[in-house]
Amino acid sequence: MLLGEKGLGMVLLLGAPYILFFTLFRYSRKILQGFEKISQASMVKVIFDIGKLVFAVVLVAAGFQAEGGIIGYVLGASVSSLVGLALVYRKYSKTDNVPIETGLRRRIFEYSVPLTITQAAGRLDRRIDTVLVGFFLTPVAVSYYVISKQVVIFVQKPAAALGFTLSPAFAAEKAANNNKKLSKMFELSVVNFLLFYIPAAAGLVLISEPLVTIVFGLKYSGAIPVIQVFSLYLILSSGNRVMANVLDFLGKAKARAYAKGAVSLLNVVLNVALIPRIGVVGAAYSTVAAQMLYAIYNMHLVSSDVSIRYEYVARSMTKILVITSVMTLVVLILRNEITGWISLFIVIAAAVIVWGGLSITAGLLNRQMIPN
């Protein structure tokens, strides 16, 4: 009733079990991550992603509309949570009567509070802008914004995987006082991250128009400028996702929680100020500004624990910008030839080949890193 959409009531009611099953899914996956069982944690995530997609599509196609979609999410979360809990129980339920360390429960609770605040603020940060676009503008503007964000979220997946994989390894190296190895790991992850996401953001700006019109249709062309603004958000948000996982495992969750909460509130204020004035693009500008401040603070937190050779990162950054410039030139030359799915794929493939070849030549990408 508050949003003026009474039809949402049944969808919310049917989606209530999702809170339970998604929580259990996340719990089991984090336990597996903490024990560095990355392949098993990834398998649980794949089951969740594929399950919710298949169930949702089948139920919507069967005529159950939005209600079918949310039930599909519930089913996907329930299956993945059961698999995850089964893996955790089978491998880690036997403790051999190891006594619980004094004060451990209290420390777990104290560390969980800032993590809870951070994740709640993250959810607010990722969702409230969409709600505000709908409140101030129209459902059509919401569709432009959601499409743009979904494109960015899809491209962010490698960053999420990198942060998830590296986090327990960082914690292990810190516990062993291997500060030199810890620093090299972080430097390498930063360079690899920038090597992927700076060219990806540049390419997204250049192909946003044909991408939207071919994939979603000409009627969604209003999403094009939003995607172009979000190209910078892609770099910032992906970097934050990598650093956030690392910071939590390095014991910096409380400091990150305060920063995340402040940035989320700033994002709301900027959205309220800019959306009525410049429309849906204002929401994108607000999100980018908030993410930039959050990235700067996260980098400060990491550097307080990890020694970073900034000259090494700067040299690598120069090479990455040169590679991006050459790749951009290739895309600019070929962009006008995009007329459909096949030509779009060919242009993207050409850009990837140029990027990969130059990255190997520059010594930033090792051939052994490329899957067969």
Q: What is the pLDDT of residue 28?
A: 93
Q: What is the pLDDT of residue 369?
A: 47
3-7, 16-20, 108-112: least confidently modelled range: 3-7
Q: What is the pLDDT of residue 309?
A: 83
Q: What are the structure tokens assigned to 234, written together?
A: 């892609």
Per-residue pLDDT averaged across 5-22, rounded?
A: 88
Q: What is the pLDDT of residue 93?
A: 73
365 compared with 19, residue with greater pLDDT? 19
HEC string for the chain: CCCCCCCHHHHHHHHHHHHHHHHHHHHHHHHHHHCCCHHHHHHHHHHHHHHHHHHHHHHHHHHHHHHHHHHHHHHHHHHHHHHHHHHHHHHHCCCCCCCCCCCHHHHHHHHHHHHHHHHHHHHHHHHHHHHHHHHHCCHHHHHHHHHHHHHHHHHCHHHHHHHHHHHHHHHHHHHCCCHHHHHHHHHHHHHHHHHHHHHHHHHHHHHHHHHHHHHCCHHHHHHHHHHHHHHHHHHHHHHHHHHHHHHHHCCCHHHHHHHHHHHHHHHHHHHHHHHHHHCHHHHHHHHHHHHHHHHHHHHHHHHHHCCCCHHHHHHHHHHHHHHHHHHHHHHHHHHCCCCCHHHHHHHHHHHHHHHHHHHHHCCCCCHHHCCC
Q: What is the pLDDT of residue 78?
A: 96
Q: What are the structure tokens assigned to 48, written together?
A: 């969740």
Alpha-carbon distances, residue 149 vs 63, 120, 215 (angstroms): 27, 19, 15
Q: What is the pLDDT of residue 162?
A: 67
Q: Please, which pLDDT band fits residue 159 given cuts at 50, 70 and 90?
A: low
371 compared with 96, residue with greater pLDDT? 96
Which of the residue ranges 60-64, 119-123, 310-314 has the most confident prediction, judged by mean pLDDT? 60-64
Per-residue pLDDT averaged across 129-147, rounded?
A: 85
Q: What is the pLDDT of residues 232-287, one digit of tens each?
A: 988 888 788 778 777 777 778 778 878 888 888 888 899 999 999 999 999 999 98
Nearby residues of 292 by Cβ (< 8 Å), 6 or more positions away: 236
d(CA 180, CA 346): 43
Q: What is the pLDDT of residue 302?
A: 84
pLDDT of 291 above 60: yes
Q: 40 and 57 in contact (C-beta within 8 Å)?
A: no
Q: State the average pLDDT for the chain.
A: 85
With tokens 């719990």, the residue in question is: 27
At position 124, the amino acid (one-letter code) is L
Q: Please, which pLDDT band fits residue 367 given cuts at 50, 70 and 90?
A: low
Q: What is the pLDDT of residues 179-226, one digit of tens each?
A: 777 788 888 888 888 898 899 999 999 998 998 888 888 888 888 999
Residue percentage of the chain with pLDDT more than 70: 92
